[in-house]
């Protein structure tokens, strides 16, 4: 009985959340299951159908039938009636004014669910730009519980930007049956297209790290901390000597969000050979804020802008703005860029090894140059490169959980609070002989928050598109005012509707 009560409370705690949202996005194959006031089908050609009678929606094989209104790509009303459209022509399914469907028991438990929800609501309502979000997060078994190890495809905010993300799982321990837990702890619709393990052979006393050069994995040994780690504010060595979560970080410039800073790493090698710089890092919430703020400026037209992005009509917005500069941490030695670190994500730590080439014994200075207030550095070390490793790919044997799981396994669709368990058969792979990585591919859609609609501002969006440098200077003071408070709000607004269910 107690377990049933816990599950009911966990399940119902999601309901009040939906009232604070204006729009969400659902899978086209599930559009006939939606409970909402209106559904909007955004088509690849830019046109749209608005369906107010959601009960008229029927999914019939590869087509969708419904009664609604049709609008041309420039949003002129063309007609109203019954339509049948191919599912492949639908770019995005937008759901507006949705409400939870409560059973009689659910109605009685709504107050309990609201109490569970209050922590999330408090932080997201008071500062919606700090709401937790990014992408699917992955956990591995560790010490009798689950340990956060990775986040997938953080920058894949629309389908056309789907990418494959390779993440090291440094605390993974091999067993005949290896379990990986994926969770959606944000207000997003997440699509996992693939999730495979990569096993990298290694020798005794070695670790295998991904190189910033895509597809390369470096085997290293003999990691030693730097003799100095000099920051603009002084000595930061104590914060980067171990993977302990202390982290060096700075705060943004209040006048220009792309202001750079330089960190000076001094390494000492007793012997010569091929050397590497090992980094463990993640990002602050700067780009999270910028992305959410841009969403807020789209207001009621958020879905329209998403479709424009999907159709490639705003390529400059994605590729040519200064926002791309935030992604890169330049590794410089003797005036030459020897590596560019670009892996994104504010949640889980990333790990990498940069090939410094062949160096003789002695002391060397390596510069890390990146956007001020954006990078969190947890660990820095020098190491010997002993070779490279080729991955062995292992697909999941079984997928179970509360997400929408396709008959063939993929894609897996996760709505807020959903979680799935990937089970891998690793019989024959010995513990200690392999470094474990996750290769995940997918994308996600952020849900528009109701609170953001009041900030609709086409002029600010136009400025971001036409003159991103001016935009980032204009918005710098606004981010500076909330920057130090965002961390607490971000982490305390995790959406954990079914915490402990798996």
Shared domain for 152 and 204, answered yes or no, is yes
Q: Which domain holds residue 352?
A: 137-390+445-492
Cα–Cα distance between 136 and 189 in angstroms, integer? 10
Give the CATH number of the domain where residue 84 resides: 2.30.30.100
User: CA 57 to CA 40: how far, in whole Å?
Assistant: 11
Looking at the DSSP bridge assignments, the partners of residue 122 are none
421 found inside a domain: no
Residue 149 lies in a domain: yes
465 CB neighbour count, 10 Å cutoff: 15
Quick one: which of 176, 387, 411, 366 has its CA closest to 269?
Answer: 366
- Residues 141, 74 share a domain: no
d(CA 217, CA 355): 10
Helices and strands in the chain, H and E counts: 8, 30
Distance of alpha carbon 244 from alpha carbon 380, whole angstroms: 12
Give yes or no: residues 201 and 282 share one domain: yes
Q: Which residues pair with 260 in a beta bridge?
A: 371
Q: Is residue 224 within 8 Å of residue 475, measured between CB atoms? A: no
Burial readout 178-216 (b: 16 or more C-beta within 10 A, e: otherwise): bbbbbbbbbbbbbbbbbbbbbbbbbeeebbbbbbbeeee
Last residue of a domain, one of 60, 91, 109: 109
Q: Which of 58, 13, 19 is nearest to 36 (CA)?
A: 19
Q: Are 311 and 455 in a shared domain?
A: yes
The label of the residue with tokens 């710089």 reads 277
The rounded distance, in Å, linking the Cα atoms of 179 and 399 is: 10
Distances from the Cα of 20 to the Cα of 291, 294, 446, 451, angstroms: 19, 19, 14, 8
Give kind and range of the element (H or E) at residue 464.
helix 458-466
159 and 288 share one domain: yes
- Which one of 109, 124, 154 terminates a domain? 109
Tokens representing 262 are 């330089």
Q: Please count the other Cβ atoms lying within 10 Å of the Cβ belonging to residue 281.
A: 24
Q: Do 194 and 232 reside in the same domain of the chain?
A: yes
Helix (H/G/I), strand (E/B), else coil: 301: helix
User: Is residue 287 included in any domain, yes or no?
Assistant: yes
Q: Cβ distance 484 to 130 under 8 Å?
A: no
Q: What is the dihedral of CA 252, 255, 259, 262, to 10 degrees?
A: -60
Whether 490 contacts 285, CB under 8 Å: yes
- How many beta carbons lie within 10 A of that of residue 313, not counting itself? 12
This prediction has a pTM of 0.77
Domain co-membership, 186 together with 273: yes
Q: Are residues 74 and 142 in the same domain?
A: no
Is the bond into 324 cis (omega within 30 degrees of 0)?
no
| Residue 467 domain-assigned (yes or no) | yes
pLDDT computed for residue 279 by the predictor: 97
Q: What would the two tokens of residue 257 be?
A: 């969000």
- Sole residue written with tokens 């009985």: 1
In the chain, the number of structural domains is: 2
Mean pLDDT by 10 residues, the chain (502 residues): 33 32 66 77 82 87 90 78 89 67 31 32 46 76 86 83 90 91 88 95 95 91 96 93 92 90 96 96 88 85 78 57 69 93 85 96 96 94 96 95 86 88 90 90 84 83 83 90 79 48 30
152 in the same domain as 91: no
Residue 440 falls within a domain, yes or no? no
Q: Is 427 part of a structural domain of the chain?
A: no
Examine residue 396 and state whether it is found in any structural domain, yes or no.
no
Is the residue at 377 inside a domain?
yes
Q: Based on the fold, state whether residues 163 and 15 are members of the same structural domain.
A: no
Task: Verify that 264 and 156 share a domain, yes or no.
Answer: yes
In this structure, the answer to whether residues 78 and 167 fall within a common structural domain is no
Reading the block at residue 372, the tokens are 């001020």
Domain end (from 92, 109, 126): 109
């Amino acid at each position: 009985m107690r377990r049933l009560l816990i599950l009911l409370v966990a399940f119902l705690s999601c309901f009040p959340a939906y009232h604070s949202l204006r729009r969400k996005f659902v899978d086209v194959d599930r559009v006939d299951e939606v409970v909402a006031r209106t559904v909007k089908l955004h088509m690849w050609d830019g046109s749209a159908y608005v369906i107010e009678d959601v009960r008229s929606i029927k999914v019939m094989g590869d087509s969708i039938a419904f009664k609604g209104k049709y609008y041309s790509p420039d949003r002129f009303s063309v007609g109203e009636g019954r339509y049948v459209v191919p599912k492949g022509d639908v770019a995005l399914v937008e759901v507006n004014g949705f409400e939870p469907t409560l059973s009689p028991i659910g109605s009685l438990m709504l107050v309990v669910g609201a109490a569970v929800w209050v922590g999330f609501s408090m932080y997201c309502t008071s500062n919606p730009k700090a709401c937790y979000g990014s992408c699917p997060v992955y956990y591995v078994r560790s010490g009798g519980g689950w340990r956060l190890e990775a986040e997938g495809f953080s920058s894949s905010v629309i389908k056309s930007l789907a990418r494959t993300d390779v993440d090291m799982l440094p605390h993974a321990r091999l067993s005949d049956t290896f379990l990986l837990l994926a969770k959606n702890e944000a207000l997003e619709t997440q699509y996992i297209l693939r999730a495979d393990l990569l096993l990298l052979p290694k020798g005794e006393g070695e670790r295998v790290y991904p190189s910033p050069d895509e597809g390369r994995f470096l085997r290293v040994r003999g990691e030693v901390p730097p003799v100095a780690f000099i920051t603009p504010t002084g000595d930061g060595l104590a914060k980067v000597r171990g993977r302990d979560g202390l982290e060096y970080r700075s705060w943004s410039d209040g006048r220009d969000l792309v202001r750079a800073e330089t960190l000076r790493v001094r390494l000492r090698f007793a012997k010569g050979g091929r050397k590497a710089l090992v980094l463990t890092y993640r990002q602050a919430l700067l780009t999270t804020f910028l992305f959410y703020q841009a969403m807020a400026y789209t207001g009621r037209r958020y879905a329209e802008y998403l479709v424009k992005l999907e159709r490639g009509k705003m390529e400059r917005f994605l590729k040519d703005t200064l926002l791309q500069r935030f992604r890169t941490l330049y590794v410089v030695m003797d005036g030459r860029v020897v590596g560019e670190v670009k892996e994104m994500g504010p949640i889980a730590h990333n790990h990498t090894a940069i090939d410094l080439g062949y160096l003789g014994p002695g002391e060397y200075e390596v510069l890390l140059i990146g956007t001020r207030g954006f990078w969190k550095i947890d660990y820095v070390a020098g190491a010997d490169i002993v070779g490279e490793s080729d991955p062995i790919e292992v697909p999941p044997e079984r997928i179970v959980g509360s997400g929408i799981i396709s008959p063939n396994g993929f894609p897996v669709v996760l709505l807020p609070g959903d979680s799935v368990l990937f089970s891998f058969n690793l019989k024959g792979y010995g513990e200690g002989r392999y470094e474990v990585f996750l290769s995940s591919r997918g994308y996600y859609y952020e849900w528009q928050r109701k609170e953001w609609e009041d900030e609709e501002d086409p002029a600010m969006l136009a400025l971001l598109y036409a003159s991103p440098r001016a935009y980032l200077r204009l918005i710098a003071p606004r981010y500076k005012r909330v920057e130090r408070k965002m961390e607490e709000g971000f982490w305390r607004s995790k959406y954990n509707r079914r915490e402990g269910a798996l």
